Structure 1
Amino acid sequence: FFFLLLFMHYYILYAVMSVSVLEGDPVFLSTDVCKQQRDTMRWYFNDSLIALINDPNTSCLYDGEDGRFRDRLKVDYETGSLNITDTTTEHTGRYEAELIRSESSGKSQSLNRSPKCNSTKIYKKNINPEDIIITFNLTVSGVFGDTDEVKSVSVLEGDSVTLQTGLNKEQYEVILWNFNDIQIAEYDRDIGAICLYDGEDGRFRDRLKVDYETGSLTITNITTEHAGRYEADIIRRRRLNGLYKGCFSTEIHKRIHNFADSTEQFTVTVSDPGLSSAAVARISAGGVGVVVLVAVAVAAGVMIYHRRRSCQNNK
């Protein structure tokens, strides 16, 4: 039972929570952690810092790339929970709350921008492996996008996923695939040329395949870094000679907006396998599965209760 408690402690803190919301609605990412359980806290979106929480005078909310989070973030200073208002499909992706623990205390108050905060700066993720990380996969389904439908796709980490365009080779000449407004694939059917880009930090290197008939995109050995918004810009007839200029897979190209005849949009959520059905089946071997699962549920309830009780006692 002791080892079961240790397992549940790890699972609760490191499980990936999936959250879905419609475009335009607010979303609240709750950490369920009180001020006494951490000193500094950082929020990341797809490996970029968007919030730093110390005290009200040395904290900062960042606008993020392209200013997509400007005037949209609120953080509760007591719990460190993050609130995103007026969400768009640009906010789909992976959010990570890094907790750096200490015994300091504080009062519950809303976090405001520090006068010394340069909110326009871009900082990449720099996490200490010993810190506690709480991860959320957020899917924002569009209602105002280029097309009438945004397809939501969920996949387990380590699996493959194919984003289907539903096209045949007679219905397009060029397809440009984008991930969070960064181009990751270009296929010109007319001249048979293709380029697969590694993406930021090389996260797509050797993971992408494009179907030459349909233009559909397959991502293999997927990780939580690949959660986010994918857009297939479809060009029926090439109106610009020399669109394909050779393939340099390490280059980073921003998406060319308002260039396609139509766009297919997908939001991909990647979840940690956790207790997969296969894992549960293995645990269940020998007829002890039900007992183990009940014990896990009880252990989880006890841990959450004590964590909340600790917060209340320290207020």
Structure 2
Amino acid sequence: MLFLFFCPGSFGADTDEVFVMEGDSVSLTCLKKNQQDRIKWYYNDIRIAQMNGDPSKTCTDVQCNEGTERFRDRLKLDHLTGSLTITNIRDTDAGEYKLLITRGNSDSEKIFSVSVHDKVFVMEGDSVSLTGLKKNQQDRIKWYYNDIRIAQMNGDPSKTCTDVQCNEGTERFRDRLKLDHLTGSLTITNIRDTDAGEYKLLITRGNSDSEKIFSVSVTGVPAAEQDEVKRKTVKEGESVTLDLDVKRNPNDVMTWHFNDILIAEITEDQSQICTDFQCENGEERFRDRLELDHQTGSLTIMNTRNTDSGEYKLKINSISRRRRRSVSSEKRFDVTVTASGLSSGAVAGIVVVLLVSALTAVGVGVIYHRHRSPRKAVEEKQRASVESPNKEKEIFLQTQIEIT
């Protein structure tokens, strides 16, 4: 998106305030220049562009004698109007831009004060951390939401507050704000769509003030997707993957926690990647049952047990070195491990026991028969002698065969 800022009327000492979203383009211009006008643009008193009747002396950024390479081909100078366009604007481009026009023997100038708003996108229900420059111990910090003070801190602990505790605060966040006493960063937990808007950080250092503006957008997640992503049910002994369905940014620092205990970490430094007891203050709860995907940051738990049920929390800290800022987000997974009944190993064990029992019973029967048969034969022989001589012979012969 391109924003145009014109300055009607004559030049003077007034400063025009220009607000632009990070990543957009902005065009700064004033009066249409005459063909003989000489144009110079300055950023914080450093010349970044110029043009006059001599094309060889037209330049932008590093091409100018006093220029720097901070913009790197993101400056465009209009040869007809003298306007300056900054494309793909960054928060480091915020500051004072001065236009100097020399017409004959007279000079005139116009100043533009450009503020760049950071765009922050966060999913509803997640957490986000907003921070600017690291604060000095003497810095006084104030945070505003849509011009309402919601947090502040300084050297006096009694004046540190968040939300309703602040004099001008409101109870809209209700214990969902956390203020980092070391950096001054503000974290909003369990964010809601009503939390979207403009957040301003005001830092007072001595007699000077500096500010940083964040434009926060909260996007919702369909209920079906929330159930799929945030709740996982798995049978004991099976594996479950807590996935993000996105490719990890190389600069992201990801940490996985189980019931608030660190169980895995992935960073840009390969030597710092760890799982379970390898991590600092980690425990040996999972014992080589964790797998970490280095591309996406997804976590897989293998051979799950009922003791693995609980809350798994992923914290993502996205660091932008070029923009000197850090944005944190958080994702939660509720994992339930259910009993799976008899495993295949248990079933196989039971079958073996039954077979052994059956074979043992057959063996006992055979032994019993072999010990019992001769005695039984003698008894039958005695009974037969009474009945008939022929029967006695028949029984005698059968007895001899059985004994043999």
TM-score (norm 1): 0.35
- Highest CA radius of gyration, 1 or 2? 2
Q: TM-score under structure 2 normalisation?
A: 0.28
Greater relative contact order (CA < 8 Å, ≥ 6 in sequence): 1
Structure number with higher strand proportion: 2
